[in-house]
Copies of this chain bind each other. A is one copy, B any other.
Amino acid sequence: MCQLFGLSCNTASSVTVAFTGLSARGGRTGEHSDGFGLAFHDGVGCRLFIDENRASDSALAVFLRRLPIRAGTVLAHVRKATQGPVQLANCHPFLREWGGRYWSFCHNGNLLDFSPRLNGIHLPVGNTDSERAFCWLLQQLRERFRTRPAEGWRAFAPVLAELADQIARFGTFNFLLSDGQALYAYCGTQLSWLRRAHPFPVAQLVDDDLILDLRAANNPNDRMVLVATDPLTRNEPWSAFEPGPLRVFVRGDEVWPGAAEPTAQLLAERTNPVRRRLAATA
């Protein structure tokens, strides 16, 4: 199994602190030492970093814990191999282009006997169940949408929700997916999330002594959603996902299947701290 992390925010943000916590699980505080990767979606561009070395002490991980690369959506993964040997081609996130956008995908879980028919448009390069699932998801999206629809995530969300449920029948399937516009998160068994907005706290990592004063790092209008296999901070109100359905985050708001007007909802919650607190710790 693996550790997932995702970020969606309305102001491009860095993940140096979150990745400091996550990467510790790649060999120091956790046994997920079979590689790691991050995808930074910056507009339509995407920076992908993958490495088959331990996230806790790989030179690339050391570099990425220090360099504040800012992005609107970030996916990260530290791997504990279940299917496929420890090698570069099996590191998540996987990246493909469809419809003039880069799509990134990472998975926590184990799919048994998942061998869907792949028509060759997207094929796995490595040999994980995860990459097969990603290729099949994109193939299905292509079959439903001949071109990228103008509605973007509004069109994709119900289709992806249905496809995710189909794959989840084959085993443990928690995943994060992004095309730079939205962060899609699916909980088969285990995933938590947190929404950060003003007033920002001082965050204390679970896996490291590091403390970050988010008040100084963010502006009052900034908001972001963090998703992780296990909560990364010890003093913030992380909430466990219920298994299924797919959830979608855009620019730091949950937009599906919940609120039709996320910004209005957020504003309403801001005027009612008690309700926000209850919602965030539910």
| Interface, chain A (partner B; CB < 8 A) | 42-52, 59-60, 63, 67, 87-91, 95-102, 120-126, 146-147
Task: Answer whether A125 and B45 are a contact pair too, CB < 8 Å, given A95-B95, A120-B147, A146-B120.
Answer: yes
CB distance from A54 to the nearest CB of B (A): 15
Complex CA gap A67/B125 in Å reads 25
CB–CB A45/B120 < 8 A? no
CB–CB B122/A97 < 8 A? yes
Task: Answer whether A44 and B89 are a contact pair too, CB < 8 Å, given A60-B67, A67-B59, A120-B146.
Answer: yes
CB–CB A102/B125 < 8 A? yes
CB–CB A99/B126 < 8 A? no
Given contacts A45-B87, A47-B51, 13 further A-B contacts (CB under 8 A): A43-B89, A44-B126, A45-B52, A47-B50, A48-B48, A49-B49, A60-B67, A63-B63, A96-B96, A97-B122, A99-B123, A100-B123, A100-B125
Complex CA gap A232/B60 in Å reads 26
Q: Which residues of B contact A60 (CB under 8 A)?
A: 67
Complex CA gap A236/B147 in Å reads 50
CB–CB B124/A88 < 8 A? no
Give the nearest-CB partner of A45 in chain B: B88
Task: State the oligomeric state as a number of copies.
Answer: 2
Q: Which residues of B contact A121 (CB under 8 A)?
A: 121
Q: Which residues of B contact A46 (CB under 8 A)?
A: 88-89
CB distance from A34 to the nearest CB of B (A): 14
- Of B63, B100, B124, which contacts A100 at CB under 8 A? B124
Q: Which residues of B contact A123 (CB under 8 A)?
A: 97-100
CB distance from A65 to the nearest CB of B (A): 12
CB distance from A138 to the nearest CB of B (A): 10
Complex CA gap A63/B96 in Å reads 26
Q: Which residues of B contact A59 (CB under 8 A)?
A: 67
20 contacts between A and B (CB under 8 A): A42-B88, A43-B89, A44-B126, A45-B90, A45-B91, A46-B88, A46-B89, A47-B49, A47-B50, A47-B51, A49-B49, A60-B67, A95-B95, A96-B96, A96-B97, A97-B123, A98-B123, A100-B123, A120-B147, A121-B121
Complex CA gap A123/B97 in Å reads 7
Complex CA gap A120/B90 in Å reads 27
Task: Answer whether A87 and B43 are a contact pair too, CB < 8 Å, given A48-B48, A67-B59, A120-B146.
Answer: yes
Give the nearest-CB partner of A123 in chain B: B100
Q: Which residues of B contact A48 (CB under 8 A)?
A: 48
Q: Which residues of B contact A87 (CB under 8 A)?
A: 43, 45
Q: Which residues of B contact A102 (CB under 8 A)?
A: 125
Q: Which residues of B contact A49 (CB under 8 A)?
A: 47, 49
